[in-house]
Structure 1
Amino acid sequence: MTIMDATEAFDSAERAMWDGRARVYADSFALLCAHPVPELLDAARVSAGTRVLDVGTGPGTAALAALERGARVRAVDADPGMVAAAQARGVPAEVAVLPRLPFADGEFDAVIANFVLNHVGRPRAALAELRRVLRPGGRLALTLWSGRRGAGQDLLGRACAAGGAVPPSYLPKLAADEDFPRTTAGLADLLTGAGFTGAEAVESAWDHRTTVEEWWGGATGGVATVGLVVTSQDAETVVRIRREYERLCAEFTAGDREGEGDGDRDGDADGEGRLALPHVALLGSATA
């Protein structure tokens, strides 16, 4: 398979992964991805009057936060269902697929991309396009998952392995020539290589507060790679995965940590089934 074939296969698999899953995502993993949004907007220097583009807006979480700051916001996503969900929340969103955006050169003061770069088959070309639509001196800020994973990030994967799941052959796999180190240095180098200046990257770590059923719902709804793994199994294997998942959840019960940290949610009315899942992400920023 050529590099171009691998890239097209990656992008096609990503589009299929998200098709029809906007609601399930909004009710599960989107709550996790909302955590670094304030830091993301600060890194992009978003304030009243800033012309902001939110790329890969999903259900519009980051775009709404920018609007609350008084910014002038546009948003795009590759998935029509995500665009419809964002529009329903009052976000001026439209369908667009990286690495091509329907905007003029230098149209924005800031571009934000919250957990988007890990979903494109040509990350360097995507960054070049984001730089194109930024004015000189404009700011880019983005997040993606770190290679140094938090223990909570592996909960569902461990359950799949313990339950005997066999990953399907159609999982998205980035071409080796397009990949890069998922470290602070690796992300900063990637931004510099794309023509940005003053590139910086830091780690952001937090405990995501969720419930046993909410977290399981994202996987059984087919969201993200782990969702593709779970939904591709036969019924008996899914039962085993669920059993292993419940066993492993005991390692992450909120218990006496209840109420700590950001993103805390009420979960079950009686407080049972609460989880605190450690996650680690990278936050990168740079100037066009």
Structure 2
Amino acid sequence: MINHVGDPLAAITELRRVVRSAGRVAVTVWPHPPPEAQSLWGEVFDAAGVDRRAVAAPTVHADRDFPRTPDGLTGLLDQAGLTDVRCAPITWAHRTDPDAWWSGPANGISKPGLVMETQPAAMITRIRAAYDELTARYRGPDGLLALPTAALLASASVR
């Protein structure tokens, strides 16, 4: 959830405030560099020839951001006053129907969705063709995608 707030430190500080003493807080973030599932849309847009520079996606202001690394995330939890901070990457294959994975961005969801909303119909057709081509390597015999992905999972104690 820390990926989706404008002030990550304030969000963690608020979590610390509302969790009882001796409780634990756990958060996840997408790591940097992004795993295949998160970088796939950039590959699709590049293959289709989409110019993404004109799309202003929301970002965390530089003075409130932190590195999306284990050290960056543990540093954020430390800074919020939490103790016994632990962080580890977790990996899995996100299994999904190709049309379901397409439908989020095609309906304006997430940063790829912001890009798709600005494209003319002809470009959407090119994006879909690139999507079908690039996701083929992840399709199993059942037709589902198995997209390698990862997150950083951090937990800490509240004093």
TM-score range, shorter chain: over 0.9
**2:21 counterpart residue number:** 136
Letter in 2 for 1:160: F
Tell whether the 8 Å contact from 1:148 to 1:280 is kept in structure 2 after alignment: no
Q: Distance in 1 between matches of 2:128 and 2:30?
A: 25
Q: Distance in 1 between matches of 2:67 and 2:56?
A: 23
**1:236 counterpart residue number:** 122
Unaligned runs of 5+ in 1: 1-115, 256-270
Shift of 1:156: 2.0
> Share of identical aligned residues, percent?
42
Output one character per residue of 1:83-136: Cα deviation in whole Å (capped at 9) or x when no partner.
Answer: xxxxxxxxxxxxxxxxxxxxxxxxxxxxxxxxx111111111111111111122
Q: 224, 231, 253: which is aligned to 2:139?
A: 253
Q: Which moved more, 1:213-222 or 1:151-160?
A: 151-160
SS of residue matched to 1:136: coil
**1:205 counterpart residue number:** 91
Q: Which runs of 4+ in 1 moved over 3 A?
A: none
Q: 142, 147, 153: which is aligned to 1:277?
A: 147
1:76-95 equivalences in 2 (<5 Å): none
Q: Give the superposed CA RMSD.
A: 1.3
Q: Distance in 1 between matches of 2:90 and 2:153?
A: 7
Shift of 1:162: 1.5
Aligned residues: 157
Answer 1 or 2: higher relative contact order, Cα 8 Å, separation at least 6.
2
Tell whether the 8 Å contact from 2:28 to 2:154 is kept in structure 1 after alignment: yes
Q: Distance in 1 between matches of 2:145 and 2:20?
A: 43
TM-score normalised per structure 2: 0.92
SS of residue matched to 2:72: helix
**2:44 counterpart residue number:** 159
**1:146 counterpart residue number:** 31
Shift of 1:180: 0.8
Shift of 1:194: 0.6
TM-score normalised per structure 1: 0.52
